[in-house]
Amino acid sequence: MRFPLALPLVLSTADGEFPALTKNISASGVLFSLDRSLMVGQDLRFSMRMPHAILGTPQDVLVHCTGRVVRCSTGHNEHLAAATIDEYQFAEQ
């Protein structure tokens, strides 16, 4: 199941850090838009503050993720990238 969430995040890659905005999120991946292209296979790290209403928790939860880019496209003045979530860890609140 994919959740259509627009969450700001910062992507960390070997090339630096870049702001991005999620388009949708599932348990195993995320689609986000950003102002530059990424390469398929590129490793990345990012953190997302998941809304408590989606998770059914009393408060928002910060999740640290690692993954890799699996698909890229460009259109309408934005770059889209889909990435796997290979590992995640909930931050202590």
Domain count, the chain: 1
Per-residue pLDDT of the chain (93 residues; tens, 9 = 90+): 888 999 999 999 999 999 999 999 998 999 999 999 999 999 999 999 988 887 788 999 999 999 999 999 998 888 999 999 999 998 865
- Residue 51's pLDDT is 87
Q: What is the pTM of this model?
A: 0.86
DSSP string, the chain: --B----EEEEEETTEEEEEEEEEE-SSEEEEEESS---TT-EEEEEEEE-HHHHT-SS-EEEEEEEEEEEEEEETTEEEEEEE--EEEEPP-
**What's the domain range around 25?**
8-90
Q: Is residue 30 part of a domain?
A: yes
pLDDT of 50: 87
CATH, residue 38: 2.40.10.220
The pLDDT assigned to 70 comes to 98
Residue 2 lies in a domain: no
